[in-house]
Structure 1
Amino acid sequence: MNHYSRLKNALIIFVLLLSMLYALPNIFGSDLAVQVSSVGNTLIVDQDLNKIKNVLKAQQIEFKSVELTNQRILVRFKDNTQQLLAKDVLKQALGRRYVVALNLAPSVPVWLTILGGKAMSLGLDLRGGVYFLLEVDMETVISALMNKVYNELRVLLRKDRLYKSIKQENGSIVIRFKHAELKDKAAQLIKLELGDLVMLDNNSDELSLNIGISESAQRQAKKSALKQNITTLRNRVNELGVTEPIIQQSSERIMVQLPGVQDTARAKEILGTVATLEFRLVDEKNDPQIAIQSGRVPIGSKLYYFKDGSPLLLKDRVITTGENITGAASSIDQENNIPMVNITLDSIGGRAMLNTTKKYLHHRMAVVFIENKVETIIKNGKTIKKHTTTRDIINAATIQSAFSSRFQITGIDSAREARNLALLLRAGSLSAPIEIIEERTIGPSLGADNITKGMTSVLVGFVLVLLFMAIRYRIFGIVANVALTFNLVMIVSVLSLLQATLTLPGIAGIVLTVGMAVDANVLIFERIKEELCVNSKIQKAISNGYDKALLTIADANITTLIAALVLFSFGTGPIKGFAITLSIGIVTSMFTAIIVSRAIINKIYGGKKLEEISI
Structure 2
Amino acid sequence: MVYFAKWKIAIVVAVCLLGVAFAAPNLLDRNTTENLPGWLPNQQISLGLDLRGGSHLLLEVEAQTVINERLESIVDSIRQTLRSERIRYTGLGIRDSQVSVQIKKPDQVQQAYDLLRKIDTGTETINENGKISITMTEEAVLKAKRSAVEQSIEIVRRRIDETGTKEPNIQRQGDDRILIQLPGIDNPEDVKRLLGKTAKMTFHLVNHTVTPEDILAGRIPPGTIALPDAENENTKIAVRRKVEVSGDMLIDSQPTFQDAQPVVSFTFNALGGKKFGQVTSKNVNRRLAIVLDGKVISAPNIQGPILGGSGIITGRFSVQEANDLSLLLRAGALPAPLVILEERTVGPGLGADSIEAGKVASVIGLLGVIIFMVASYGRFGIYADIALMFNIILIGAALSVLQATLTLPGIAGIVLTIGMAVDANVLIFERIREETRNGLGPIAAIDSGYKRAIKTIVDANVTTLIAAVLLYQFGSGPVRGFAVTLAIGILTSMFTAIMLTRLQVVVWLRRTKPKTLEL
Q: Would the TM-score normalized by the shorter structure come out above 0.5?
A: yes
Aligned residue for 2:249? 328
Q: Secondary structure at the match of 1:455?
A: helix
Amino acid at match of 1:128: G
* 1:273-314 residue CA offsets vs partner (Å, 9 max, x unmatched): 4545364789xxxxxxxxxxxxxxxxxxx998xxxxxxxxxx
Q: 1:341 is matched with which residue? A: 268
Deviation at 1:504, TM superposition (A): 1.2
Q: Secondary structure at the match of 1:613?
A: coil
Q: Using the alignment, how far apart are the partners of 1:398 and 1:234 within structure 2?
A: 38
Q: Tell me how far apart the structure 2 counterparts of residues 277 and 576 of structure 1 sit (CA, whole Å).
A: 37
CA 1:7–1:108: 2 relative to 1, 3 Å: same
Show the counterpart of 2:400: 496
User: For the structure 1 residues 362 and 343, does the alpha-carbon distance in structure 2 shift closer, same or farther, using more than 3 Å as the test?
Assistant: farther
What residue in structure 2 maps to residue 122 of structure 1? 47
**In the alignment, what sits opposite 2:71?**
146
Partner of residue 153, structure 2? 230
Q: Which residue of the partner structure matches residue 12 of structure 1? A: 12
1:198 maps to 2:127: no
CA contact (8 A) 2:55 2:344 kept: yes
Structure 1's 500 and 217: CA in aligned 2 closer, same or farther, altered over 3 A?
A: same
- Match of 2:107? 181
1:172 to 95, 98, 107: 98
The Cα shift of 1:328 comes to 2.7
Q: In 2, are the aligned partners of 1:228 and 1:427 still within 8 Å (CA)?
A: no
3-state SS of the aligned residue for 1:612?
coil
Aligned to 1:379: none
Secondary structure, aligned partner of 1:327 = helix
Summarize the Cα distance change of 1:186–1:363 in structure 2 as closer, same or farther, 3 Å threshold. Answer: closer
Residues 184-583 of structure 1 mapped to structure 2, 5 A cutoff: 184-200=110-126, 205-215=128-138, 217-227=140-150, 229-230=152-153, 233-234=156-157, 237=160, 242-250=165-173, 251-263=175-187, 268=192, 270-273=194-197, 275-277=199-201, 279=203, 318=239, 325=246, 327-330=248-251, 340-342=267-269, 357=280, 359-361=282-284, 367=290, 400=305, 408-409=309-310, 424-425=328-329, 429-430=333-334, 432-583=336-487
Question: What is the percentage of aligned positions where both structures have the same residue?
Answer: 39
* Counterpart Cα distance in 2 of 1:323 and 1:582: 54
Q: Alignment partner of 2:10: what SS?
A: helix
Distance 2:152 2:400 in 1: 31
* Alignment gaps of 5+ in structure 1: 32-105, 283-301, 305-314, 333-338, 373-390, 413-418
Tell me the CA shift for residue 462 of structure 1.
Answer: 1.0
- Deviation at 1:181? 3.4
User: 1 CA distance for matches of 2:300 and 2:470?
Assistant: 48
Q: Which moved more, 1:237-246 or 1:527-536?
A: 237-246
Structure 1 letter corresponding to 2:248: G
Distance 1:259 1:319, change over 3 A: farther
Matched letter for residue 161 of structure 1: I
Pair 321,249 (structure 1): closer, same or farther in 2 beyond 3 Å: farther
Pick closer, same or farther for the CA change 1:425–1:399 going to 2, 3 Å: farther
2:61 aligns with one of 122, 136, 146 = 136
Moved more, 9-18 or 206-215: 206-215
Task: Give ranges in structure 2 of 5+ residues lacking alignment.
Answer: 207-228, 254-265, 314-322
Question: Using a 3 Å threshold, how does the CA distance of structure 1 residues 189 and 266 change in structure 2: closer, same or farther?
Answer: same
Separation in 2 of the partners of 1:486 and 1:564?
22
RMSD over equivalenced CA pairs, Å: 4.1
The alpha-carbon distance between structure 1 residues 522 and 108, as it changes in their structure 2 partners (threshold 3 A), is farther
**Structure 2 CA distance, aligned partners of 1:182 and 1:212?**
21
**What code does the residue aligned with 2:251 have?**
S
Q: In the alignment, what sits opposite 2:211?
A: none
Supply the distance in 2 between the matched residues of 1:184 and 1:162 (Cα, whole angstroms).
Answer: 13
Change over 3 Å in CA distance of 1:234–1:540 after alignment to 2 = closer
Higher relative contact order (CA 8 A, sep 6+): 2
TM-score under structure 2 normalisation? 0.78
Deviation readout 1:171-223 (Å, 9 max, x if unpaired): 322333244431221122223444343224x5xx3333221123454345324
CA distance in 1, matches of 2:468, 2:335: 39
How many angstroms apart in 2 are the aligned matches of 1:457 and 1:395?
66
The answer to whether the 8 Å contact 1:278/1:320 transfers is no
- Find the counterpart in structure 1 of residue 26 from structure 2: 26
CA distance in 2, matches of 1:8, 1:582: 26
Measured in 2, the distance between the counterparts of 1:120 and 1:152 equals 54
